[in-house]
Amino acid sequence: MTQYQIHSDIKANASSVLALLGLSIEPKVLFVCPQNILNRSFKRSMSSLEIEVAFAESSSEALQKMNSFTYAIVIAIDEIDELDGVGFLELVKQMSPNTKRVLVSGKSDMDATMEAINRVGLFNYVVLPWEPSELRQIVHRACDLFSLQYENANLSKLLSNQANDLRTLVDTLEITVQSRTASLLTGLNAALDLRDTETQGHSRRVALYARRLAEELEVTHTEAIDIQRGALLHDIGKIGVSDTILLKPGKLTEEEWVEMRKHAEFGYKILENIPFLGNARHVVHQHHERFDGNGYPQRLKGKEIILGARIFAIIDTYDAMTSDRPYRKGLPHEVAIEEIHKCQGTQFDPDVVGAWDRIPKEELFILRKRAEEDVFAGSI
């Protein structure tokens, strides 16, 4: 088997696959000429090709035919009617840019040929009288090129559609995985809330407050969600702190505090292999840092602390103060705000405190209510 035969076989197989997929087209030729003698001669010249040929005797008839079908090739005689061949092929170019255009002329004028090639992007220029075999070759090449371009365009469209479908599927799967993971983490957090009875519902409330404050600071939607997730999970590392320390009723000794403070690192470690919580993880890690650099675990200072953690520091204090504890009732909103103001510049970022001040207390009450009524509040 020659290389040519192998190539032809591959091409034939590819064409049949494309035909099965409805992506290929049977190329058709339109010959535009008012002279019967040339029409008959063209028909004879094409008889050995397995390509369908249509005829139009005027430019208007040709344009009408083109309205209902995309021809692979349009061959026009130089003098059709009031419209000359070049003018007509210009219209063909506008109507169907992928159709190959061939001009047939009695004149062998190089300048006119070049001008026509440039003006209408001619595929070829045929001088009368044509040589049938040469004409067949031109038609054959034009049809091959047209089919190839047509199939390529359809294949690209099909691949792009499939890529879009695949992307949508991946997005849907990712959302499902994220929402299930978030539910799992909410459950984990709820378990922690039950263990650390002093803070029941605290994580859900701070998650909602953190999201609201992040939005007040006009962060992007994604950043706001990351901050919300970080707030929800901020104390997740307490799972790694022993019951004797976590549930100790009295004050902790200095050694016990050392153990307790490890929960920020534990939380950071717990979330290590959950890629979609990559940013939230930093909020968890830094949630006990202070603006003046006296926090832990890294003693970060000022803007070294990520915004999510600077946001969190304020709302954590606010929620701790305004919530009921077994040994005292929650303090009024105004008292908590006053305390936060006292600590701006030391514990808190003054810019973030300014944003917190702008949120009406009624809105915070609504968020608090949502967190109390819905165990999944704040989870994303």
Q: CA-CA distance, 74 to 177, in Å (whole number)?
A: 55
Of residues 101 and 211, the one with the C-beta less far from Fe ion: 211
Q: With beta carbons less than 8 A apart as the criterion, state whether 207 and 193 touch.
A: no
Q: Is 93 exposed, middle or buried (0-12, 13-18, 19+ CB in 10 A)?
A: middle
Q: What's at 223, amino acid-wise?
A: E
- For Fe ion, the binding residues in 297-326 under the rule CB under 5 A are 316
Q: How far is the CB of 287 from Fe ion (least distance, A)?
A: 6
Least separation in angstroms between CB 203 and Fe ion: 7
Which of 78, 193, 235, 289 is close enough to bind Fe ion by CB under 5 A?
235
The residue from 43, 65, 238, 269 that is catalytic is 238
Question: Tokens 């009524």 map to which residue?
Answer: 373
CA distance 226 to 229: 5
* Residue placing its CB nearer to Fe ion in the complex, 84 or 289: 289
Cα distances from 112 to residues 77, 92, 109, in angstroms, run 14, 19, 5
298, 289 in Cβ contact below 8 A?
Answer: yes
- Minimum separation from the CB atom of position 290 to Fe ion (A): 13
The window from 44-52, 83-91, 99-107, 231-239 that contacts Fe ion (CB under 5 A) reads 231-239
Backbone angles phi, psi at 126, to 5 degrees: -115, 130
CA nearest neighbour of 371 among 239, 211, 216, 230: 211
Instruction: Report the residue number, 316 or 349, with the smaller CB distance to Fe ion.
Output: 316
Task: Specify the residue, 89 or 306, whose C-beta has the smaller distance to Fe ion.
Answer: 306
> Nearer Cβ to Fe ion, position 146 or 318?
318
Please say if 65 is a catalytic residue: no
d(CA 70, CA 26): 10
Minimum Å gap between C-beta 209 and Fe ion is: 11
Minimum Å gap between C-beta 173 and Fe ion is: 33
Contact flag: residue 151 with Fe ion (CB under 5 A): no
The dihedrals phi and psi of 216, each to the nearest 5 degrees, come to -60, -30
The residue (of 78 and 316) whose beta carbon lies closer to Fe ion is: 316
φ and ψ at 318, to 5 degrees? Answer: -55, -45
Total interface residues for Fe ion by CB under 5 A = 2
Which tokens in the block code for residue 123?
């595929």
Rounded Cα–Cα distance for residues 378 and 189 (Å): 11
Q: How far is the CB of 267 from Fe ion (least distance, A)?
A: 8
What whole-number distance in Å separates Cα of residue 155 and Cα of residue 137?
27
Please identify, using beta-carbon distances, which residue of 100 and 287 lies nearer to Fe ion.
Answer: 287
The CB-of-167 to Fe ion minimum distance in angstroms stands at 38
Query: How many CB atoms sit inside 10 A of residue 247's CB?
Result: 12
Give the helix ranges, DSSP H, for 47-131: 59-68, 85-95, 110-120
Segment interacting with Fe ion, rule: CB under 5 A, options 85-93, 136-144, 157-165, 230-238: 230-238
Residue identified by tokens 């002093």 is 198
Find the part of the chain contacting Fe ion (CB under 5 A) among 83-91, 218-226, 235-243, 326-334.
Answer: 235-243
Q: Are 211 and 311 in contact (CB under 8 A)?
A: no
Place of tokens 């469209």: 157
Catalytic residues: 238
Q: Which residue ranges make up the site for Fe ion (CB under 5 A)?
A: 235, 316
